[in-house]
Amino acid sequence: MPVFDFVDKPKEDKKSQCTYTVFSSNEPYADEKHPILILDHSRQEWKHHSNGTFLNQNTQTAFAFDVDGMTINADILRVDARFVSLLKWLGENHIQVQLSGVNTTEGYAVYRIREMAFGGGTKLSAEDGFLQFMMERLFASQAPVDLTEDDEKDESGDDMKLTSIQSITDFMTCAGKTLPDHIRLWARRNLAVAKSHEVSPEERRHAQRALSIMMNIQWKNQYFEAIDPVEARRILDEELYGMERVKQRIIETIIQINRTHTLPAYGLLLIGPAGTGKSQIAYAVARILRMPWTTLDMSSINDPEQLTGSSRIYANAKPGIIMDAFSMAGESNLVFIINELDKAASGKGNGNPADVLLTLLDNLGFTDNYMECMIPTNGVYPIATANDKDQISAPLMSRFAVIEIPDYTDEEKKIIFSRFALPKVLKRIGMRQEECVLSEEALDKVIELYANTSGIRDLEQAAEHIAANALYQIEVDQKKQVVFDPLMIEKLLG
Protein backbone atom coordinates (compact mmCIF):
# COMPACT_ATOMS: atom_id res chain seq x y z
CA MET A 1 0.00 0.00 0.00
CA PRO A 2 1.46 3.38 -0.94
CA VAL A 3 2.26 5.75 1.86
CA PHE A 4 1.76 9.50 1.40
CA ASP A 5 3.83 11.94 3.41
CA PHE A 6 1.65 15.02 3.62
CA VAL A 7 4.44 16.92 5.39
CA ASP A 8 6.52 16.91 2.20
CA LYS A 9 3.75 17.97 -0.18
CA PRO A 10 4.63 20.85 -2.53
CA LYS A 11 4.05 24.23 -1.04
CA GLU A 12 1.50 26.49 -2.71
CA ASP A 13 2.96 29.29 -4.82
CA LYS A 14 2.81 32.57 -3.03
CA LYS A 15 3.23 36.01 -4.48
CA SER A 16 6.45 37.58 -3.27
CA GLN A 17 6.35 40.11 -0.51
CA CYS A 18 7.28 43.57 -1.74
CA THR A 19 10.54 44.58 -0.09
CA TYR A 20 10.59 48.17 -1.30
CA THR A 21 8.83 51.42 -0.59
CA VAL A 22 7.94 53.91 -3.30
CA PHE A 23 8.97 57.56 -3.18
CA SER A 24 7.83 60.46 -5.35
CA SER A 25 10.37 62.48 -7.31
CA ASN A 26 10.15 65.07 -10.07
CA GLU A 27 13.90 65.32 -10.64
CA PRO A 28 14.75 65.53 -14.38
CA TYR A 29 17.83 63.34 -13.92
CA ALA A 30 19.33 60.89 -11.44
CA ASP A 31 22.48 61.04 -9.33
CA GLU A 32 23.60 59.60 -5.99
CA LYS A 33 21.43 62.12 -4.13
CA HIS A 34 18.41 61.48 -6.35
CA PRO A 35 18.67 57.78 -7.33
CA ILE A 36 16.30 55.72 -9.43
CA LEU A 37 16.28 52.97 -6.80
CA ILE A 38 18.20 51.75 -3.75
CA LEU A 39 19.35 48.12 -3.29
CA ASP A 40 20.29 46.32 -0.09
CA HIS A 41 24.09 46.14 0.44
CA SER A 42 24.13 44.48 3.87
CA ARG A 43 25.69 41.26 2.46
CA GLN A 44 28.41 43.16 0.60
CA GLU A 45 29.06 46.48 -1.03
CA TRP A 46 28.45 46.51 -4.77
CA LYS A 47 30.82 47.81 -7.45
CA HIS A 48 30.32 51.18 -9.12
CA HIS A 49 29.35 49.34 -12.34
CA SER A 50 27.54 46.05 -11.62
CA ASN A 51 25.94 43.61 -14.05
CA GLY A 52 22.92 41.38 -13.63
CA THR A 53 19.16 41.17 -14.04
CA PHE A 54 16.10 42.28 -12.15
CA LEU A 55 14.11 39.30 -10.92
CA ASN A 56 10.50 38.75 -11.86
CA GLN A 57 8.82 40.71 -9.08
CA ASN A 58 6.07 38.11 -8.81
CA THR A 59 8.86 35.86 -7.50
CA GLN A 60 11.18 38.22 -5.65
CA THR A 61 11.57 42.00 -5.62
CA ALA A 62 15.33 41.93 -5.99
CA PHE A 63 18.26 42.38 -8.35
CA ALA A 64 20.48 39.38 -9.16
CA PHE A 65 24.11 40.55 -9.27
CA ASP A 66 26.58 38.58 -11.41
CA VAL A 67 29.69 38.37 -9.20
CA ASP A 68 32.62 36.24 -10.45
CA GLY A 69 30.31 33.70 -12.05
CA MET A 70 28.04 33.56 -9.00
CA THR A 71 24.58 35.07 -8.61
CA ILE A 72 23.88 37.07 -5.47
CA ASN A 73 20.46 38.58 -4.89
CA ALA A 74 19.92 41.99 -3.28
CA ASP A 75 16.47 43.20 -2.23
CA ILE A 76 15.11 46.41 -3.69
CA LEU A 77 14.62 48.85 -0.80
CA ARG A 78 13.32 52.03 -2.41
CA VAL A 79 12.09 52.92 -5.94
CA ASP A 80 11.23 56.19 -7.67
CA ALA A 81 7.50 55.85 -8.36
CA ARG A 82 7.99 56.71 -12.02
CA PHE A 83 10.16 53.62 -12.58
CA VAL A 84 8.16 50.88 -10.85
CA SER A 85 6.58 49.56 -14.06
CA LEU A 86 9.90 49.72 -15.91
CA LEU A 87 11.67 47.58 -13.28
CA LYS A 88 8.87 45.02 -13.40
CA TRP A 89 9.11 44.87 -17.18
CA LEU A 90 12.89 44.46 -17.09
CA GLY A 91 12.53 41.61 -14.61
CA GLU A 92 9.75 39.76 -16.40
CA ASN A 93 11.64 39.90 -19.70
CA HIS A 94 15.05 39.03 -18.19
CA ILE A 95 16.71 42.06 -19.79
CA GLN A 96 20.33 41.97 -18.70
CA VAL A 97 21.53 45.35 -17.55
CA GLN A 98 24.44 47.21 -16.02
CA LEU A 99 23.74 49.35 -12.97
CA SER A 100 25.82 52.39 -12.09
CA GLY A 101 25.61 53.49 -8.49
CA VAL A 102 27.34 54.28 -5.22
CA ASN A 103 27.22 52.66 -1.79
CA THR A 104 25.62 54.98 0.75
CA THR A 105 24.48 54.57 4.34
CA GLU A 106 20.99 53.84 3.04
CA GLY A 107 22.07 51.23 0.48
CA TYR A 108 23.39 50.93 -3.08
CA ALA A 109 21.99 54.03 -4.80
CA VAL A 110 21.47 53.34 -8.52
CA TYR A 111 21.43 56.37 -10.80
CA ARG A 112 21.89 54.73 -14.22
CA ILE A 113 20.58 51.58 -15.93
CA ARG A 114 22.10 50.44 -19.23
CA GLU A 115 21.23 47.39 -21.34
CA MET A 116 24.00 44.82 -21.72
CA ALA A 117 22.34 41.85 -23.51
CA PHE A 118 25.11 39.40 -22.66
CA GLY A 119 24.97 35.67 -22.00
CA GLY A 120 22.09 34.96 -24.37
CA GLY A 121 19.61 37.20 -22.62
CA THR A 122 16.77 38.97 -24.40
CA LYS A 123 18.03 41.98 -26.33
CA LEU A 124 16.03 45.03 -27.31
CA SER A 125 15.81 45.95 -31.00
CA ALA A 126 17.31 49.39 -30.59
CA GLU A 127 19.66 48.04 -27.92
CA ASP A 128 20.27 50.57 -25.16
CA GLY A 129 18.60 53.31 -27.20
CA PHE A 130 15.06 52.03 -26.57
CA LEU A 131 15.66 51.64 -22.84
CA GLN A 132 17.13 55.14 -22.61
CA PHE A 133 14.22 56.52 -24.66
CA MET A 134 11.73 55.18 -22.11
CA MET A 135 13.83 56.40 -19.19
CA GLU A 136 14.11 59.91 -20.63
CA ARG A 137 10.33 60.02 -20.95
CA LEU A 138 9.94 58.87 -17.36
CA PHE A 139 12.44 61.46 -16.09
CA ALA A 140 10.55 64.17 -18.00
CA SER A 141 7.24 63.11 -16.42
CA GLN A 142 5.82 64.16 -13.09
CA ALA A 143 5.60 61.74 -10.18
CA PRO A 144 2.30 59.81 -10.47
CA VAL A 145 -0.41 60.87 -8.06
CA ASP A 146 -2.10 57.46 -8.08
CA LEU A 147 0.40 54.74 -7.19
CA THR A 148 -2.02 51.83 -7.58
CA GLU A 149 -0.95 48.84 -9.64
CA ASP A 150 -1.86 48.51 -13.31
CA ASP A 151 -3.41 45.07 -13.84
CA GLU A 152 -2.97 45.06 -17.60
CA LYS A 153 -1.08 42.12 -19.04
CA ASP A 154 2.53 42.88 -19.94
CA GLU A 155 4.16 41.41 -23.01
CA SER A 156 7.77 40.56 -23.73
CA GLY A 157 10.05 42.65 -25.92
CA ASP A 158 11.24 41.53 -29.34
CA ASP A 159 13.55 42.70 -32.07
CA MET A 160 11.41 45.65 -33.17
CA LYS A 161 11.95 49.37 -33.08
CA LEU A 162 9.66 51.81 -31.29
CA THR A 163 7.44 52.05 -34.37
CA SER A 164 6.67 48.32 -34.14
CA ILE A 165 3.62 46.96 -32.35
CA GLN A 166 5.74 45.19 -29.75
CA SER A 167 7.84 48.22 -28.84
CA ILE A 168 4.69 50.34 -28.58
CA THR A 169 3.24 47.67 -26.28
CA ASP A 170 6.38 47.77 -24.15
CA PHE A 171 6.26 51.54 -24.00
CA MET A 172 2.62 51.44 -22.87
CA THR A 173 3.55 48.94 -20.19
CA CYS A 174 6.53 50.86 -18.82
CA ALA A 175 5.67 54.50 -19.47
CA GLY A 176 1.96 54.49 -20.35
CA LYS A 177 1.16 56.54 -17.25
CA THR A 178 3.05 59.48 -18.76
CA LEU A 179 0.21 59.83 -21.29
CA PRO A 180 -3.01 61.74 -20.58
CA ASP A 181 -5.81 59.41 -19.50
CA HIS A 182 -7.91 59.71 -22.66
CA ILE A 183 -4.86 59.18 -24.90
CA ARG A 184 -3.87 56.10 -22.91
CA LEU A 185 -7.36 54.66 -23.44
CA TRP A 186 -7.20 55.58 -27.12
CA ALA A 187 -3.82 53.87 -27.41
CA ARG A 188 -5.14 50.66 -25.86
CA ARG A 189 -8.04 50.55 -28.34
CA ASN A 190 -5.76 51.19 -31.30
CA LEU A 191 -3.27 48.65 -30.02
CA ALA A 192 -6.07 46.08 -30.03
CA VAL A 193 -6.92 46.99 -33.63
CA ALA A 194 -3.26 46.85 -34.69
CA LYS A 195 -2.91 43.35 -33.20
CA SER A 196 -6.23 42.00 -34.42
CA HIS A 197 -6.50 39.62 -37.35
CA GLU A 198 -10.20 40.31 -37.67
CA VAL A 199 -9.64 43.66 -39.39
CA SER A 200 -8.08 44.40 -42.75
CA PRO A 201 -4.29 44.87 -43.12
CA GLU A 202 -5.01 48.48 -44.08
CA GLU A 203 -6.79 49.14 -40.79
CA ARG A 204 -3.93 47.55 -38.85
CA ARG A 205 -1.38 49.67 -40.74
CA HIS A 206 -3.27 52.90 -40.03
CA ALA A 207 -3.67 52.02 -36.34
CA GLN A 208 0.04 51.27 -36.02
CA ARG A 209 1.00 54.50 -37.78
CA ALA A 210 -1.31 56.57 -35.56
CA LEU A 211 0.10 54.90 -32.46
CA SER A 212 3.67 55.56 -33.55
CA ILE A 213 2.90 59.26 -34.05
CA MET A 214 1.15 59.59 -30.70
CA MET A 215 3.79 57.70 -28.70
CA ASN A 216 6.56 59.93 -30.04
CA ILE A 217 4.93 63.06 -28.64
CA GLN A 218 5.80 63.99 -25.08
CA TRP A 219 2.53 65.06 -23.49
CA LYS A 220 3.63 67.63 -20.95
CA ASN A 221 1.69 69.16 -18.12
CA GLN A 222 0.52 72.75 -18.40
CA TYR A 223 2.83 74.27 -15.80
CA PHE A 224 5.01 76.99 -17.32
CA GLU A 225 8.04 78.53 -15.69
CA ALA A 226 8.04 82.26 -14.99
CA ILE A 227 9.75 84.47 -17.57
CA ASP A 228 12.45 87.03 -16.86
CA PRO A 229 11.20 90.46 -18.05
CA VAL A 230 14.76 91.74 -18.48
CA GLU A 231 15.74 88.76 -20.62
CA ALA A 232 12.48 89.06 -22.56
CA ARG A 233 13.24 92.69 -23.33
CA ARG A 234 16.79 91.81 -24.43
CA ILE A 235 15.50 89.19 -26.86
CA LEU A 236 12.96 91.60 -28.34
CA ASP A 237 15.65 94.28 -28.73
CA GLU A 238 17.77 91.78 -30.68
CA GLU A 239 14.98 91.18 -33.18
CA LEU A 240 13.31 94.58 -33.38
CA TYR A 241 14.69 98.11 -33.41
CA GLY A 242 12.58 100.83 -31.81
CA MET A 243 8.84 100.22 -31.47
CA GLU A 244 8.96 100.57 -27.70
CA ARG A 245 5.18 100.48 -27.27
CA VAL A 246 4.94 97.24 -29.23
CA LYS A 247 7.61 95.55 -27.11
CA GLN A 248 5.98 96.73 -23.91
CA ARG A 249 2.59 95.42 -25.02
CA ILE A 250 4.06 92.00 -25.88
CA ILE A 251 5.76 91.64 -22.50
CA GLU A 252 2.59 92.77 -20.69
CA THR A 253 0.63 90.06 -22.50
CA ILE A 254 2.92 87.11 -21.78
CA ILE A 255 4.10 88.09 -18.29
CA GLN A 256 0.81 86.74 -16.92
CA ILE A 257 2.66 83.41 -16.81
CA ASN A 258 4.61 84.67 -13.77
CA ARG A 259 1.47 84.63 -11.63
CA THR A 260 -0.68 81.88 -13.16
CA HIS A 261 2.05 79.54 -14.49
CA THR A 262 -0.30 78.89 -17.38
CA LEU A 263 -0.30 80.36 -20.87
CA PRO A 264 -2.22 83.62 -21.43
CA ALA A 265 -5.87 83.20 -22.37
CA TYR A 266 -5.28 84.94 -25.70
CA GLY A 267 -2.60 84.51 -28.34
CA LEU A 268 -0.93 87.38 -30.14
CA LEU A 269 -2.09 88.79 -33.48
CA LEU A 270 0.56 91.02 -35.06
CA ILE A 271 -0.87 93.25 -37.77
CA GLY A 272 1.25 95.55 -39.91
CA PRO A 273 2.79 96.22 -43.32
CA ALA A 274 5.05 93.64 -44.94
CA GLY A 275 8.66 93.72 -43.82
CA THR A 276 8.08 95.27 -40.40
CA GLY A 277 9.40 92.26 -38.48
CA LYS A 278 6.18 90.47 -37.48
CA SER A 279 7.63 86.99 -37.98
CA GLN A 280 10.82 87.94 -36.13
CA ILE A 281 8.70 89.04 -33.18
CA ALA A 282 6.87 85.70 -33.22
CA TYR A 283 10.14 83.77 -33.15
CA ALA A 284 11.40 86.03 -30.35
CA VAL A 285 8.31 85.27 -28.23
CA ALA A 286 8.92 81.54 -28.73
CA ARG A 287 12.48 82.07 -27.42
CA ILE A 288 11.15 84.01 -24.42
CA LEU A 289 8.70 81.22 -23.59
CA ARG A 290 11.45 78.61 -24.13
CA MET A 291 9.12 76.54 -26.29
CA PRO A 292 9.58 74.88 -29.69
CA TRP A 293 7.71 76.53 -32.53
CA THR A 294 6.08 75.54 -35.78
CA THR A 295 4.62 77.58 -38.62
CA LEU A 296 1.33 77.38 -40.48
CA ASP A 297 1.35 79.34 -43.75
CA MET A 298 -2.33 80.05 -44.39
CA SER A 299 -1.66 81.37 -47.91
CA SER A 300 -0.81 77.81 -49.01
CA ILE A 301 -3.73 76.09 -47.26
CA ASN A 302 -6.78 75.87 -49.50
CA ASP A 303 -8.72 73.02 -47.90
CA PRO A 304 -9.61 72.37 -44.23
CA GLU A 305 -8.55 68.75 -44.68
CA GLN A 306 -4.95 69.91 -44.92
CA LEU A 307 -5.31 70.96 -41.27
CA THR A 308 -7.59 68.22 -39.95
CA GLY A 309 -6.20 65.20 -41.83
CA SER A 310 -8.16 62.59 -43.77
CA SER A 311 -10.23 59.69 -42.49
CA ARG A 312 -8.65 56.26 -42.22
CA ILE A 313 -11.27 54.82 -44.57
CA TYR A 314 -9.03 56.00 -47.43
CA ALA A 315 -5.94 54.00 -48.35
CA ASN A 316 -3.81 57.14 -48.70
CA ALA A 317 -5.10 58.73 -45.50
CA LYS A 318 -2.69 60.81 -43.45
CA PRO A 319 -2.69 63.21 -40.48
CA GLY A 320 -3.19 66.92 -40.96
CA ILE A 321 -0.61 69.70 -40.74
CA ILE A 322 -1.49 70.49 -37.14
CA MET A 323 -0.92 66.90 -35.99
CA ASP A 324 2.30 66.80 -38.04
CA ALA A 325 3.44 69.91 -36.16
CA PHE A 326 3.01 68.16 -32.80
CA SER A 327 4.88 65.15 -34.17
CA MET A 328 7.77 67.25 -35.51
CA ALA A 329 8.07 69.21 -32.25
CA GLY A 330 8.00 65.99 -30.23
CA GLU A 331 5.97 67.59 -27.45
CA SER A 332 2.55 69.06 -26.76
CA ASN A 333 3.68 72.49 -25.55
CA LEU A 334 4.65 74.61 -28.52
CA VAL A 335 4.16 77.95 -30.23
CA PHE A 336 2.03 77.92 -33.38
CA ILE A 337 3.09 80.77 -35.65
CA ILE A 338 0.21 81.31 -38.07
CA ASN A 339 1.48 83.39 -40.98
CA GLU A 340 -0.88 85.47 -43.14
CA LEU A 341 -3.98 84.88 -41.05
CA ASP A 342 -5.85 87.31 -43.29
CA LYS A 343 -5.72 84.68 -46.05
CA ALA A 344 -7.24 81.92 -43.90
CA ALA A 345 -10.76 82.57 -45.20
CA SER A 346 -9.80 82.18 -48.88
CA GLY A 347 -10.18 78.38 -49.01
CA LYS A 348 -10.85 76.86 -52.42
CA GLY A 349 -11.75 73.36 -51.22
CA ASN A 350 -14.67 71.90 -49.27
CA GLY A 351 -14.94 74.36 -46.43
CA ASN A 352 -13.10 77.22 -44.80
CA PRO A 353 -9.66 76.71 -43.17
CA ALA A 354 -10.41 79.62 -40.83
CA ASP A 355 -13.16 77.56 -39.14
CA VAL A 356 -10.65 74.84 -38.27
CA LEU A 357 -8.37 77.40 -36.62
CA LEU A 358 -11.17 78.37 -34.23
CA THR A 359 -11.04 74.89 -32.70
CA LEU A 360 -7.27 75.10 -32.27
CA LEU A 361 -7.44 78.58 -30.74
CA ASP A 362 -10.15 77.74 -28.19
CA ASN A 363 -7.68 75.49 -26.29
CA LEU A 364 -10.43 72.96 -25.66
CA GLY A 365 -8.82 70.24 -27.74
CA PHE A 366 -8.36 69.55 -31.44
CA THR A 367 -9.54 66.42 -33.24
CA ASP A 368 -7.58 65.12 -36.21
CA ASN A 369 -9.64 62.94 -38.57
CA TYR A 370 -6.79 60.47 -39.02
CA MET A 371 -5.87 60.15 -35.35
CA GLU A 372 -9.53 59.91 -34.28
CA CYS A 373 -8.56 61.30 -30.91
CA MET A 374 -8.93 64.62 -29.14
CA ILE A 375 -5.50 66.28 -29.01
CA PRO A 376 -4.94 68.53 -25.94
CA THR A 377 -4.19 72.09 -27.04
CA ASN A 378 -3.95 73.86 -23.68
CA GLY A 379 -0.15 73.84 -24.09
CA VAL A 380 -0.37 75.62 -27.46
CA TYR A 381 0.35 79.34 -27.71
CA PRO A 382 -0.77 80.83 -31.05
CA ILE A 383 0.94 83.85 -32.59
CA ALA A 384 -0.56 85.05 -35.87
CA THR A 385 0.64 87.63 -38.39
CA ALA A 386 -1.41 89.53 -40.96
CA ASN A 387 -1.16 92.51 -43.28
CA ASP A 388 -4.87 93.41 -43.62
CA LYS A 389 -7.03 93.42 -40.49
CA ASP A 390 -10.23 93.85 -42.50
CA GLN A 391 -9.82 90.39 -44.09
CA ILE A 392 -9.92 88.60 -40.72
CA SER A 393 -13.30 87.43 -39.42
CA ALA A 394 -14.61 88.71 -36.11
CA PRO A 395 -14.59 85.24 -34.44
CA LEU A 396 -10.90 84.84 -35.28
CA MET A 397 -10.03 88.35 -34.09
CA SER A 398 -11.74 87.69 -30.76
CA ARG A 399 -9.28 84.86 -30.01
CA PHE A 400 -6.24 87.16 -30.03
CA ALA A 401 -4.71 90.11 -28.27
CA VAL A 402 -4.30 92.39 -31.30
CA ILE A 403 -1.06 94.38 -31.59
CA GLU A 404 -0.66 96.70 -34.57
CA ILE A 405 2.92 97.05 -35.82
CA PRO A 406 3.51 100.53 -37.29
CA ASP A 407 5.83 101.11 -40.21
CA TYR A 408 9.29 102.50 -39.51
CA THR A 409 9.94 106.22 -39.73
CA ASP A 410 12.66 107.52 -42.08
CA GLU A 411 14.95 108.12 -39.13
CA GLU A 412 14.43 104.56 -37.84
CA LYS A 413 15.10 103.18 -41.34
CA LYS A 414 18.31 105.18 -41.50
CA ILE A 415 19.54 103.76 -38.18
CA ILE A 416 18.51 100.20 -39.09
CA PHE A 417 20.30 100.41 -42.44
CA SER A 418 23.53 101.93 -41.11
CA ARG A 419 23.82 100.02 -37.81
CA PHE A 420 22.30 96.67 -38.61
CA ALA A 421 21.50 95.86 -42.25
CA LEU A 422 24.76 96.95 -43.94
CA PRO A 423 27.16 95.72 -41.19
CA LYS A 424 25.37 92.36 -41.21
CA VAL A 425 25.88 91.98 -44.97
CA LEU A 426 29.53 93.07 -44.78
CA LYS A 427 30.23 90.54 -42.03
CA ARG A 428 28.53 87.76 -43.95
CA ILE A 429 30.60 88.27 -47.11
CA GLY A 430 33.85 88.81 -45.23
CA MET A 431 34.33 92.55 -45.72
CA ARG A 432 35.57 95.07 -43.19
CA GLN A 433 33.36 98.06 -42.48
CA GLU A 434 36.10 100.50 -43.57
CA GLU A 435 36.13 98.90 -47.03
CA CYS A 436 32.53 100.00 -47.75
CA VAL A 437 31.64 103.48 -46.51
CA LEU A 438 28.60 105.67 -47.17
CA SER A 439 28.74 109.41 -46.65
CA GLU A 440 25.94 110.99 -44.63
CA GLU A 441 24.45 112.38 -47.85
CA ALA A 442 24.65 108.95 -49.52
CA LEU A 443 22.85 107.40 -46.54
CA ASP A 444 20.11 110.03 -46.84
CA LYS A 445 19.83 109.21 -50.53
CA VAL A 446 19.28 105.52 -49.80
CA ILE A 447 16.45 106.35 -47.39
CA GLU A 448 14.96 108.79 -49.92
CA LEU A 449 14.88 106.15 -52.64
CA TYR A 450 12.96 103.75 -50.36
CA ALA A 451 10.79 106.29 -48.57
CA ASN A 452 7.58 104.94 -50.13
CA THR A 453 8.23 101.27 -49.38
CA SER A 454 6.94 99.58 -46.24
CA GLY A 455 9.17 97.66 -43.88
CA ILE A 456 12.91 97.19 -44.26
CA ARG A 457 13.17 94.29 -46.71
CA ASP A 458 13.91 96.62 -49.60
CA LEU A 459 16.57 98.34 -47.50
CA GLU A 460 18.16 94.97 -46.77
CA GLN A 461 18.23 94.26 -50.51
CA ALA A 462 19.83 97.68 -51.07
CA ALA A 463 22.52 96.82 -48.50
CA GLU A 464 23.23 93.58 -50.40
CA HIS A 465 23.55 95.51 -53.69
CA ILE A 466 25.84 98.19 -52.25
CA ALA A 467 28.11 95.68 -50.49
CA ALA A 468 28.34 93.50 -53.61
CA ASN A 469 29.27 96.53 -55.73
CA ALA A 470 31.96 97.59 -53.27
CA LEU A 471 33.38 94.06 -53.19
CA TYR A 472 33.49 94.01 -57.02
CA GLN A 473 35.45 97.28 -57.14
CA ILE A 474 37.90 96.02 -54.51
CA GLU A 475 38.47 92.65 -56.17
CA VAL A 476 38.45 93.75 -59.84
CA ASP A 477 39.62 97.36 -59.76
CA GLN A 478 42.05 96.73 -56.90
CA LYS A 479 40.66 99.53 -54.74
CA LYS A 480 41.47 99.63 -51.05
CA GLN A 481 38.24 101.34 -50.07
CA VAL A 482 34.94 102.32 -51.71
CA VAL A 483 33.23 105.48 -50.46
CA PHE A 484 29.73 105.99 -51.84
CA ASP A 485 28.34 109.49 -52.48
CA PRO A 486 24.74 110.39 -53.42
CA LEU A 487 25.45 110.26 -57.18
CA MET A 488 26.93 106.76 -56.92
CA ILE A 489 23.89 105.61 -54.88
CA GLU A 490 21.52 107.16 -57.40
CA LYS A 491 23.27 105.42 -60.26
CA LEU A 492 23.45 102.11 -58.44
CA LEU A 493 19.95 101.93 -56.91
CA GLY A 494 17.90 104.50 -58.79
User: What pLDDT was estimated at residue 75?
Assistant: 93
Q: In angstroms, rounded to a whole number, what is the distance separating the alpha carbons of residues 33 and 27?
A: 10
* Residue 194 CA: distances (Å) to CA of 126, 305, 370: 21, 25, 15
166-221 pLDDT per residue, tens: 888 888 888 888 888 999 999 999 999 999 988 898 999 999 999 999 888 888 88
SS3 456: coil
Q: Which residue intervals of 275-345 are DSSP H helices? A: 278-289, 305-308, 321-329
User: What pLDDT was estimated at residue 158?
Assistant: 35
How would residue 406 be classed by pLDDT, with cut points 50, 70 and 90?
confident
**Contact, 22 vs 81, CB < 8 A?**
yes
**Contact, 168 vs 119, CB < 8 A?**
no
**Contact, 137 vs 178, CB < 8 A?**
yes
Q: In angstroms, rounded to a whole number, what is the distance separating the alpha carbons of residues 242 and 236?
A: 10
Q: In angstroms, rounded to a whole number, what is the distance separating the alpha carbons of residues 52 and 67?
A: 9
**Contact, 121 vs 95, CB < 8 A?**
yes
Between 155 and 27, the more confident residue is 27
Q: In angstroms, rounded to a whole number, what is the distance separating the alpha carbons of residues 304 and 344?
A: 10
The domains of the chain, with CATH numbers, are 21-178 (no CATH), 229-404 (3.40.50.300), 410-493 (1.10.8.60)
CA 17 to chain CA mean position, Å: 40
224-236 pLDDT per residue, tens: 889 999 999 998 8
Question: Is the pLDDT confidence value at 312 over 70?
Answer: yes
* Residue 302 CA: distances (Å) to CA of 17, 277, 383, 444: 62, 26, 20, 44
pTM of model > 0.75: no
Q: Nearest-CA neighbor of 243 among 92, 113, 413?
A: 413
Q: Which one-letter amino acid corresponds to residue 155?
A: E
332-374 pLDDT per residue, tens: 899 999 988 888 766 555 667 877 888 888 877 888 999 999 9
Query: What's the DSSP call for residue 217?
Result: S
User: What pLDDT was estimated at residue 106?
Assistant: 93
